[in-house]
Structure 1
Amino acid sequence: MAINIHQLAEVQTDQIGDHTSIWQFCVILKGAQIGNNCNINCNVFIENQVVIGNNVTIKPGVQIWDGITLEDDVFIGPNVTFANDHFPKSQNKDFILRKTLVKKGASIGANATILGGITIGENSLIGAGSVVTKDIPANEIWVGNPAKFLRKQHD
């Protein structure tokens, strides 16, 4: 099993697939599951209740919170922000975890914000800087704040 974990990363999980690379200054908590052939760039934080499929790329400055699933072949651009709580506040005793699903082959551009409870469809593309507030259908490109349909993906 060939896994590349940089010596300056803190990796608590043992659920990491073959040929996955985890770069410096990453923190990955014990319950996280990461597939084969993934590239987790520097400065990435991954919480416990996270599932990451095979062939996933996560660029620097991303936090993957509890309740987020990234299916196979997903691309997460630099500084993408995920939220898993619609009403965040410190010491929130009424916290409701909003699960997010990014389906196979989807790509999310740099600095996009994805609200909790969203499904991003297969092979869809979210443009850089977009704010996604609702589900995105498969094979579509969405851009802007709030994100709006731009066009269908080309084959």
Structure 2
Amino acid sequence: MIKSVILFFRFILSGLNYLFNLLMFKVNGVEVNSFLINGRILVRNKGSIKLGAGFTANSGKMINPIGGDTCLRLICSIDGMLHIHENVGISNSTIVCWDKIIIHKNVLIGGGCKIWDTNFHSINSIDRLNGDMSIKTSPIEIMESVFIGANCTILKGVSIGENSVIAAGSVVTKDIPSNQIWGGNPAVFIKKI
């Protein structure tokens, strides 16, 4: 009996979460096909966000405790273009797009990852004090079938080649070729796949 009641409430909660996420996408002008999100996503879109068919995500402390973050966040500024292709799975991560981020199909992004195509602030202290007018941005491209382990940080201007694997906790600061495993802070070559 108790198991049936729990299953019933999970079903109701799942439906409410679906409606919440659908509304979040509509209000923020996100182009989306089919999606499956466990939990509730946070979206702030002033630019262009497109999600391909089969987008899946875990979003929330109770949904996937591995990520540590509270939810999955997709944030796109006025000039930003965030395009996530088909069959991409993301868990409790934050993607901030001020320029352009393209994530190709069949990519998996582990819990607690950060993907930022901006420095957020100028490296010049005078500029920071006067309104941060010279903030650097540079596009990010993650090719097909890449696996990014939990708690990785992917910084601006990086391209990750297809089928490559980024070890958990890595900080990616430069391009990674296809079919390789990289890890560390900063990430370095480990071996070919």
TM-score, reference length from structure 2: 0.70
CA distance in 1, matches of 2:159, 2:181: 14
Larger Rg: 2
1:75-128 alpha-carbon deviations (Å, 9 max, x no partner): 111111122224625642212321100001111100111110000000100000
Q: Which residue of 1 aligns with 2:29?
A: 13
The yes-or-no answer on 1:59 pairing with 2:91 is yes
Q: Which residue of 2 aligns with 1:78?
A: 111
Q: Sort the Cα spacing of 1:102 and 1:7 in 2 relative to 1 into closer, same or farther, 3 A.
A: same
Q: Which residue of 1 aligns with 2:73?
A: 45
Number of aligned residue pairs:
149
Please identify runs of 4+ aligned residues in structure 1 that moved more than 4 A.
none
CA distance in 1, matches of 2:19, 2:38: 8
Local SS of the residue matching 1:94: coil
Greater Cα shift, 65-74 or 121-130: 65-74
Q: Which residue of 2 aligns with 1:143?
A: 183
Q: For the Cα contact (< 8 Å) 2:139–2:158, is it kept in 1?
A: yes
Deviation of 1:24 (Å) = 3.1
Local SS of the residue matching 1:97: coil
TM-score, reference length from structure 1: 0.85
CA distance in 1, matches of 2:119, 2:139: 11
Unaligned runs of 5+ in 2: 1-14, 60-70, 123-127
Q: For the Cα contact (< 8 Å) 1:7–1:24, is it kept in 2?
A: no
CA distance in 2, matches of 1:80, 1:7: 26
Provide the identity percentage: 31
Select the structure that is richer in helix. 2
Q: Which residue of 1 aligns with 2:144?
A: 104
Unaligned runs of 5+ in 1: none
